Structure formats: structure tokens, C-alpha cells
Structure 1
Amino acid sequence: MLLRLGGVVFVLWAVATLTFFAIRLIPGDPAEAILGGPGSQASAEALAQARADYGLDQPLILQYLRFLGRLVMGDLGRSYALHDSVLSVIGQNLGGTLLLAIMSLVVASLIALGLAAWSTRGGRIAAGISSVLEIVAAAVPHFWLAISLILLFSSILGWLPPVSVPGPVGLVLPVLTLALPLSGFLGQVMRESMLDAMASPFVLSARARGESENEVFWLHALRHAAIPAIGLAGWAFGALISGAVVVETIFARPGIGRSLLSAVQQRDVPLVVGVVIVVALAYMLVTTLTDLADRLIDPRLRRADR
């Protein structure tokens, strides 16, 4: 636990440092974001006063040290563009993105499980078709898939709204946009793991005991196939959060991804750094939970720990 805690601290420092300096490389003046953006036509005196008020007139290394000092105290600062606490802005938008990511992960896992089960139990034709579907799904970019889904379900069929609206209906297209590419990756992993399980000695022993194929599949092979998928949940969560930047922008859905994109465009350094740190914390939390879930499901890991 001490090693894991030290790793968390190091990752947060590295993420905060890289983000702080990377956002400074974007052309533009952060003082303009404080005064309303490039279109505000602020005077030179107002820009100079904004730089002095926020410490932007100091050397970059001093700004960085002040930033680290506030970060250690749990203060993420105030948004330049929104003139509100960064924690408040993140709190208002984080819930929508987490809901979108969790639902997408659940839907992607169910689709991947269905493809893996069909490919292992449906014969060679089913295996070939499911393999092609997994490859195509994994290769489709989010922006193209989102536009295609909008054209099909909104413009042609008229079943779903083209932008996100309150309620479950507004989640359908964004969730599918995030879930389908992820299901391709998870499906390939689950299928290979399930094939290995079906040829393993414990499956042969179960068949020798007189268990039916359905019992062998649901009680033994499925559990074995879920192990690598759970191990990939941390990576999948990070992929969903990054994909949410595109999906929330296309579907005009409030969320942390859309806020991050807007903050980067406006050079809102405190908000960008705050969002990245919160996402990194969530990623590490999910990774820790997946490690624990692996040990609950796989007895081999528990024996290795002992």
C-alpha cells in the first residue's frame, strides 16, 4: 500500500507538471482568457493588471512553484475564463462524464461478451464473422461513428435526437459511440481467453463429471474469459474519458471532456490542470479496484499473494 501510495503521488506530480508546461506552449496570452477571451479587446493596461493579479508576470519557474504549493494544499485555483473555483466547475461536470463512461463500459462489455460467446459456440462461420466485426469496431474513430449514428438514427429514421437531451434517450447515441469501438478490443481479448478456457484441463474435468455444455460455458469458461476483461477496465476507463472529449462536443453534452476542450482553447491553465489531475485520480482508483476484482475472481492471484 505504501508503494502504491507513493506511485499515486508521483503520477499526480508528473501529470500536473507536464500539463502545466504543455498548456504554456499553446500560442496566446492567458491574460486574455481572464478578461473574456481574444475577442474582449482588452486594453494593454487591463492585460498588464490581470497578469499582475494572477502572477503571470513572474518567471515561469516561480509560477510553477506557486502552483505546486497550492496543489499540495488541495487548492486547484480559479478558472481564468469562468471566474469560478476549479473544484466547483469540475464538480458540476464530472457526474455526467462518469455516468457516460460507466454506461459505455457496461454496454461495451455486454457486446464483447455476446460476440465472444457467439464466436466460440457458433462454429467457424460465427467465429469469422465476429472476428471481422471486432476488428471493424475497434478501428472506427469516435467522430466518424458519432456522425454516422446521427445520420442513421436522427436524420433518416428519426428515432433519436441528434444532440444529447435530458433523460435516458439522450444517452443512447453517446453511449453507443463510446461503447462500440471499445467492444471490439474487449471482444478480441474475451474470445481468445474463452477459447483457451474451453481447451483447458478444468473444462475437460467438468465434462468428465457429466456437466452439460451450458454449465461448462456459464460456470467455467465465462469466468475465465472475464478475468482479462476486468484487467483491462482501467485502460478502458481512460480510453472512454479521452473519447468523451469528442463525444460530448459532437452531441453538445455537458461534461468534463467538453469543459477540458474549451479550457485548452482558452488557455485556462487552472481548469486544464485540475481536470487532468481529477481524471488521473479516477484512473488510478479504477485501476486499483480492478486489481482487487482480479484477486476476487482468480484464485491463482490469491495463492500468489499468499
Structure 2
Amino acid sequence: MGKRIAGAVFVLWAVATLLFSVIRLIPGDPVDALLGGADSNATEQMRQQAQEAYGLDRPLLVQYVGYLTKLLRGDLGQSYLLKQPVAQVLSEHLASTLVLAVLALALAWVLALTMALWSARGGRPAESISSILEIVSAAVPHFWLGTLLIVLFSVQLRWLPATSGGPGAVGLVLPVLTLAIPLAGFLGQVMRESMIDAMQSPFALSARARGESELGVSLRHALRHAARPGIGLSGWAFGSLISGAVVVETVYSRPGLGRSLLQAVLVRDVPVVLGVVLIVALVYIVVTLLTDLADHIVDPRLRAS
């Protein structure tokens, strides 16, 4: 456990350091965000005062050390544009993005397992069809899929709202589908292969010899083996969903971390950018630890070791 905690701290430090360096390479001046944008017509004196107030006139090394010191105190700084603490800005949008990502991950798992079960029991034709569907869905860009779903279900059929402002859970349907379908393609490919191998393994033959039906073999024995590679990929998958949320939340005008990150990058609101990425990295670390725990629960051999 100590090694895991040390590794998590190292990852957070590396992310903070890398992003602190890269964000300075983006064209533009963060002082513009402090003064209301590039069209604020601020005087040179006003720009100097803003630089002094936020320490932007200090050497980069001094700024970096000061930033790490604040992080150790749990202080993410203040947003240049919103003039609010970054922690407050993130707390307003974190839950929205996490709900979207968790629902999309759950739906992707359901779709992937369904395709794996169908292809394993449907023979060669089902295997070929599911393989094509998985490849196509995995290759679909989020922005294209989101636009297609809006045109189909909102414009043509008028079943669902085009934005996330719909009543209750209705507004979540299209954003969750947009995130889940490409991910289901990735998960389905590895789950299908594991399911087919498990159905042809000695323990499956032994279960059939004991009178177990094909459905029983699939659900009681092969499904666990099909789930293992999916569990291993779930940590990466959750990170992919968070990054995909940047596009999806923009397409559906949904508030969240992804949309906040995009807006902060466009105006060079450095504290918000750093805060969002650090929170995402922390969430990714926690999810990775949970997937490792789930892998031990599913596989008795890991529990024994």
C-alpha cells in the first residue's frame, strides 16, 4: 500500500510539473484573462499591477515552487477569469462530469458483455458481425457521433432534447450514448476474445459434461473470464471518458469539467487548467486502484496470492 501511495503522489507531481511547463507554451498572455480578455484595452500600468498581484512577474522557478507549496496546502489558487477559488469552480462541475462518466462506463460494459455473449453463442456469423460492429463503433469520433444522434433523435424523431437541459434523466441519454458507444467497441473486442476462449476451455467442457446448459456455462463460468480484461481496461476507460467529456459537454452544452477545461485553455486561465487536470489525474488513480481491487475479487487466484 505504501508503494501505491508513493506512486500516486509521484504521478500527481509529474502531472502538475508537466502541465505547469506546457501551459506556458500556449500562445497568449494570462494577464489578458486577468483583465477581462484580449480586447480589454488595458493600459501597461494595469498589466504590470496584475502581474505583480498574481506573481506573474517572478521567475518561472519561483512561480513553480510557489505553486507546489500551495498544492501541499490544498490551495488550487484563484481563477483569473471568474475571480473565484479554483476549488469552488471545480466543485460546481465535478459531480456532473463524474455522473456522466460513470453512467457511460456502465452502459459500455452492458453493451460489450452483451456482444460478447451473443458472439460466443451465435457461432461464426455472430462473431463476424460483432467484430465489425466493435471496430466501427470504436473508430467513431465523439463529435461526429454526437451530431448524428442529435440529428436523428432530436431533429428528426423529436424524442430527446438536443442539449442536456432536458427534464430529469432525459437530458443525459444522448451524452451517455455518445460516450459509451465508442468505448463499448474497445471493451467488446477484448471481452469477445476472452469469452470465446473460455467457452472452448477445459473447465467449460467439464461443466457441459456435468449437464450444465450452454447459457449456464456462459453466465457462471465464461463470463467471469470475459470480464477480467475489461476490468483491467476500466481505469484507462474512465480516463478516456473524462477526456471525451470535453467534446461531449461542448456538443450538448452540458456544464462539467470538460467544458470548463476547454474554456480555461482558450482564455489561458492557468489555475483552472491546472486544477482540472490534477483532479482528473486523482480520479484516474482512484479508479485504477478500484479496478485492481475488483480484479482480485473476480479472480480467486489473485486473492490466494
Q: TM range, normalised to the smaller chain?
A: over 0.9
What does residue 4 of structure 1 align with?
A: 4
Q: Secondary structure at the match of 1:38?
A: coil
What does residue 50 of structure 1 align with?
A: 50
1:112 Cα offset (Å): 0.7
For residues 38 and 73 of structure 1, the distance between their equivalents in structure 2, rounded to whole angstroms, comes to: 32
Tell me the alpha carbon deviations over residues 168-202 of structure 1, each in whole angstroms, 9 at most, x when there is no partner. Answer: 11111100100000000011111001011111111
What does residue 115 of structure 2 align with?
A: 115
For residues 275 and 258 of structure 2, the distance between their equivalents in structure 1, rounded to whole angstroms, comes to: 12
For residues 251 and 43 of structure 1, the distance between their equivalents in structure 2, rounded to whole angstroms, comes to: 38
What does residue 89 of structure 2 align with?
A: 89
For residues 37 and 225 of structure 2, the distance between their equivalents in structure 1, rounded to whole angstroms, comes to: 54
Tell me the alpha carbon deviations over residues 54-101 of structure 1, each in whole angstroms, 9 at most, x when there is no partner. Answer: 000111111111111111111111111111011111100000000000
For residues 181 and 260 of structure 1, the distance between their equivalents in structure 2, rounded to whole angstroms, comes to: 22
1:148 Cα offset (Å): 0.8
Q: Secondary structure at the match of 1:289?
A: helix
What does residue 214 of structure 1 align with?
A: 215
What does residue 193 of structure 2 align with?
A: 192
For residues 43 and 238 of structure 1, the distance between their equivalents in structure 2, rounded to whole angstroms, comes to: 42
What does residue 64 of structure 1 align with?
A: 64
What does residue 261 of structure 1 align with?
A: 262
What does residue 136 of structure 1 align with?
A: 136
AA of the residue aligned to 2:62: L
AA of the residue aligned to 1:174: P
What does residue 99 of structure 1 align with?
A: 99
AA of the residue aligned to 2:216: E
For residues 110 and 272 of structure 1, the distance between their equivalents in structure 2, rounded to whole angstroms, comes to: 33
Tell me the alpha carbon deviations over residues 26-59 of structure 1, each in whole angstroms, 9 at most, x when there is no partner. Answer: 1111111011111222221111100000000111
After TM superposition, list the pairs within 5 Å mapping 1:160-239 onto structure 2: 160-166=160-166, 167-239=168-240
AA of the residue aligned to 2:186: F
AA of the residue aligned to 1:85: P
1:300 Cα offset (Å): 1.4
1:141 Cα offset (Å): 0.6
For residues 224 and 258 of structure 1, the distance between their equivalents in structure 2, rounded to whole angstroms, comes to: 37
AA of the residue aligned to 1:290: T
Unaligned ranges ≥5, structure 1: none
Stretch moving more, 293-302 or 234-243: 293-302
TM-score normalized by the length of structure 2: 0.98
Unaligned ranges ≥5, structure 2: none
1:16 Cα offset (Å): 0.3
Question: Which of structure 1's runs of 4+ aligned residues deviate more than 2 A?
Answer: none
For residues 41 and 119 of structure 1, the distance between their equivalents in structure 2, rounded to whole angstroms, comes to: 63
Q: Secondary structure at the match of 1:39?
A: coil
How many equivalent residue pairs?
304
Root-mean-square deviation over aligned CA pairs: 0.9
TM-score normalized by the length of structure 1: 0.98
AA of the residue aligned to 2:276: V
